[in-house]
Structure 1
Amino acid sequence: MPAALSAPAALSVPAALSIAQISTRRYRHPSAVASARGTDDRDRRAGRRATVLSGVGAASLLVGCTPCRAEIVTPKGYDDPETSPTGFNTLRSDQDTIGCAYTIEWPSGWCRLSDVSSARSVGVDASFKNPRDEASTLAVFISDAGSRRSVADQGSLDKVAASRAESAPRQFNVGKRKRKTKVGEGATEALTYDVETKVGGGTAGRFGSAVELVGITVWGGKEYLIRATASASSWPEERARLRRCVESFRILETC
């Protein structure tokens, strides 16, 4: 009987080893547990930081490449943009014009009107647009001058400027001056009126507000009106190069 009672208390060697192993895994020293947890936490935090930084890096690459991927859309009816290392292209009309042959500069990167023949039916001899900002334009208008032999025959600079400002509501002059336009290869020059007008409402269309600069010259029975425009917000940046284009207009022959 005593032997039977002692049997359950007796453990085999394999069973003892098994319990020892379980005990070792289940009851680790507190410092070991803390160390292990600390390592796990650091690993998780490092993983999160890597993920966040990876996302930020990817986002910055996307932001950095956005301008690179932006497409320049050529306006309908215009040729693809033309570029020049000087910053300006040059048009020489020769005999392909409804007036005297002329030359004019236009900004590099802009587009030139393709079907000029149709445009000439309404007096537009050349037209250019900025494909990045369709409010920025440059055009050459040629019309019959009638009996006028000079732009002065239209009236004084003040009168001509006022007539342009008063042609539509919410318009006013922001600049005006007289200058000379070269004619031919000699010393001949023609009087030119430059008028700068801020336009708004229906005149400016969906751009809300815009500025136009016109250079008006009368020569050989024709009036040459060189017109440059830009939105009011971009005018301070565009003004210098558009003024250069307007002033670059030259009549190549006396005709």
Structure 2
Amino acid sequence: MAELLPALAQNDGHLFWRAAARVHAALAETLPPGVDVHEYAALLSLAGGITRTQQSIATAISVSRTTVVKVAADLATQGLVTRVRNPDDRRSYALTRTAKGAAAARSWRRHVEDLEDALTSVFTLDEREELRQILVRISEQDLAPDTPAPLLDSIAFLITRVHFRMHRDFSAVLAPLGIEPRHKGCLAALHASGPIPQAELARILGVSAASVVQMVDDMERRGLVERRRLETDRRTQLLHLLPEAEVVATQARELSDELTSEILVMLSGAERKRLTGYLLRFVTAP
């Protein structure tokens, strides 16, 4: 079970980051070989025998064009779609689902729904539906009108969409401070915990040791953090915040809080409080 510092447990931006990380980890660890969630989503967007361009698929399932190019090639190789040059743009392709692709979508759906059930097992059916509706409202402006219904029913998908928007917008507002959203979380964790080893920071943030090394390197170059060896154990280094870190962390918190309020403006105070509670349970579930 994940543990969060009190300073991070009520931060919606951090919770969405952790929730999206949990979704991605579950996708990698749980889906059986041969089942790709992006390929599954693409097949859903081609239901009913319709033909779509790769750009249309990317929009419908909310992924990058680069991802769809790879997905389209893989689906075509497996015989799950037919792929022809788009007559309106010879640089791109148009895809149509084959009978084999329809069968694969039906087969894969069971695995994806099992994964969804596992990720949301901490919620009652009513709680799950309320969380889904809240996530749809938050992400509505970023979803295509023809987003496949099974994706709109997926809490895992909706969490990743909200996180994508938050990360994009947070990155933009934090750029003038010379930090990224992940650095903001590091600064908040170190402020709350005091000097700690890198391994402890990785545990608090729920990321790999390699990710923490990179983040600490970034912040050290920025003059926000310093590694210091313990006098009693020269093998151990603790992370210490430098004076400028307090100023940057305060500015980052104010900017992020303001942006979070803008992103969640459609929620009442009570709904936002319940959203925070749902995300916390999602992130800390066994």
Where on the TM-score scale, by shorter chain, does this alignment land: which range?
Answer: under 0.3
Instruction: Give the TM-score taking structure 1 as reference length.
Output: 0.18
Larger Rg: 1
Specify which structure has the bigger relative contact order, considering alpha-carbon pairs within 8 angstroms and separated by 6 or more residues: 2
- TM-score normalized by structure 2? 0.17
